[in-house]
Amino acid sequence: MTYNDSKFGEVIESGKILLVKNVMSASVLDPRRRLDYWKEATGVSNPVCAHEICNRPATHGGIAVRAFSRDRQKLVYPACETCVRRTEMLYVSGPFVELND
Ligand SMILES: [Zn+2]
């Protein structure tokens, strides 16, 4: 890791698709640094947006939680500028990096 940040946890749900909702209030790091962390943690250097119907290059680290779940764990995923701001529920493909803030 280029920088260690205890706010980030495990890489989870590789190869899976989760129904999630973006968390807009999250403040930890800026979205580009979140994406940098996701790249380091997963080893994927050129991610595309993880929203299943979007293939634009990822420029941001989105933060989401699972929809219809009591699990409030925040998850970082690669997102384009548009999808990082979407307010509806999204199908997003993993891997995700856990974020604890
Ligand atoms: Zn997108």
pLDDT digits (tens, 9 = 90+) for 15-48: 999 999 999 876 666 888 899 999 999 999 999 9
What is the whole-number distance in angstroms between the Cα of residue 49 and the centre of ligand 1?
5
What is the whole-number distance in angstroms between the Cα of residue 42 and the centre of ligand 1?
19
Both tokens of 88, joined, read: 């509806």
Both tokens of 75, joined, read: 């998850």
- The answer, yes or no, to whether residue 4 has pLDDT greater than 60, is no
Give the span between the Cα atoms of 66 and 72, in whole angstroms: 7
For ligand 1, an ion, list residues with CB under 5 A: 49, 51, 54, 56, 80, 83
Whole-number pLDDT of residue 26:
60
Both tokens of 29, joined, read: 């790091």
What is the whole-number distance in angstroms between the Cα of residue 89 and the centre of ligand 1?
13
pTM score, whole prediction:
0.90
What is the whole-number distance in angstroms between the Cα of residue 1 and the centre of ligand 1?
26
Whole-number pLDDT of residue 7:
82
What is the whole-number distance in angstroms between the Cα of residue 92 and the centre of ligand 1?
10
Give the span between the Cα atoms of 85 and 52, in whole angstroms: 15
